């Protein structure tokens, strides 16, 4: 049997909007994790790089991210 989850990458223009999206995910009770770089390569330590959300039903994800541009 094959199983899996859909992965979709979307973008926001600012880090502020990323934090607002994190708050919205929290308000909806969706599992989420803010990803902060460790600074071991070219990106400075502590740089917020992305927000992982889910797994969650497609309807919930669309409600949260449906208007964002695909990456």
Phi, psi of 27 (to 5 degrees): -60, -35
The pLDDT score that the predictor gives to residue 1 is: 62
Helix (H) or strand (E) run with residue 4 in it: none
Domain that holds residue 46: 10-70
The pLDDT score that the predictor gives to residue 36 is: 96
Residue 16 sits at the vertex; the CA angle it makes with 13 and 21, to the nearest 5 degrees, is: 85
CATH code at position 50: 3.40.1490.10
Residue 43 lies in a domain: yes
The pLDDT score that the predictor gives to residue 6 is: 79
- Tens digit of each residue's pLDDT (9 = 90 or more) over 54-68: 999 989 999 999 999
* Structural domains of the chain, count: 1
- Tens digit of each residue's pLDDT (9 = 90 or more) over 1-52: 677 777 889 999 999 999 999 999 999 999 999 999 999 999 999 999 999 9
Residue 3 or 70, more confident: 70
């Amino acid at each position: 049997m094959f199983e899996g989850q859909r992965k979709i990458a979307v973008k926001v223009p600012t880090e502020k909007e990323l934090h607002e999206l994190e708050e919205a995910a929290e308000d909806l009770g969706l599992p989420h994790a803010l990803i902060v770089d460790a600074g071991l390569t070219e990106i400075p330590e502590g740089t917020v790089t992305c927000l992982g959300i889910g797994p969650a039903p497609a309807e919930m994800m669309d409600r949260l991210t449906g208007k964002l541009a695909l990456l």
